[in-house]
Amino acid sequence: MKLPVMNEELAKRIQQSEIDYLTSRISSIGERKGNPEGVEINTFGETIAYYIKTMPWFIFNSVKGLSDADTNRLEDIVQFYAARDRLFQVDLNPVHSGSMLFKRLAELGFYQNGFHSVLYGLPKEDKPYLQTNITIVEVDNEKQFDHYAEIHCLGSGMPLSAKQHFVNNNIGLLNRAGWKIFLGYLNGIPAGVAVMHISSGIASLTLAATHPEYRNQGLQTALINRRLFEAHEAGCELVTAQASFGSTSQNNMERAGMHIAWTRSTFIQSNKM
């Protein structure tokens, strides 16, 4: 099978795969009893806006799927976040994005604040070779999930005291339809984690982290290859991912055979800084 060339239809599918997994992930947080984190997901035409009251980071307060067709919805989107006193980010892909939309963003005081890589590739038919000191298991119980939460916490640069936050807001993914969580051991020690989401024939590599003490030893390459194989086993046609431009994560995915689909632009409002 050859990697398909990029066209409008494929770009829309890749964009939708990210929306699908982020909606599922954020919905799982909002489904906790009483919605303690204050999750809201709102749609504006074909555009979707995410908000989490207790989590100010852009990944949880972002706008996805915006295109020319929803240019006239921008003021409503701005008001949605203004009413919640929240700085947010617009993630803009080159899918039906043109001068009309760019002009309206400028009129409303938005400016580009960064780039982000979107990648795509093919599933791998062959079970990946593992270094003898690496073992990978699929997380299917709360004991393994506890290791996952600790590594996710430390790998994200947070102190171990924040671990329960990672437990509370990721436990909803355990055994949730479409999701697979993997735990990587280095010499028998839990050291790396990775997550994937499957929807509409596309597997999204959604998250990966390594304990700081065990980086640069091949764990993330092994976890990427395991997920590419799992995508094949699930009958997926494509694999997608996002990464900071030029980052180690992007480099690892390209080495595993994935290619850059496009570089996303991110925007925020200048009068909110």
Mean pLDDT of 175-202: 96
Residue 250 lies in a domain: no
Contact between 181 and 173 (Cβ < 8 Å): yes
Residue 249 lies in a domain: no
Average pLDDT over the chain reads: 95
Mean pLDDT of 190-202: 97
In terms of phi and psi (left: phi > 0; alpha: psi -120 to 50; beta: otherwise), the region of 194 is beta
Residue 253 lies in a domain: no
Cα 194 to Cα 145, 180, 213, 224, 230, distances in angstroms: 12, 9, 17, 8, 12
Could you read off the pLDDT of 6-49 as tens digits, one per residue?
A: 999 999 999 999 999 999 999 999 999 999 999 999 999 999 99
Asked whether residue 58 falls in the same domain as residue 112, the answer is yes
Asked whether residue 111 falls in the same domain as residue 161, the answer is no
Asked whether residue 114 falls in the same domain as residue 152, the answer is no
User: What pLDDT is recorded for position 1?
Assistant: 78
For residue 214, the domain's CATH number is 3.40.630.30
Residue 273 has pLDDT above 50, yes or no: no
pTM of structure: 0.94
Residue 270 banded pLDDT, cuts 50, 70, 90: confident
% of the chain residues with pLDDT over 70:
99
Residue owning tokens 């990029």: 6
Asked whether residue 138 falls in the same domain as residue 201, the answer is yes
Please tell me the total count of domains within the chain.
2
Could you read off the pLDDT of 89-113 as tens digits, one per residue?
A: 999 999 999 999 999 999 999 999 9
Strands 62-64 and 89-92, sheet pairing: parallel
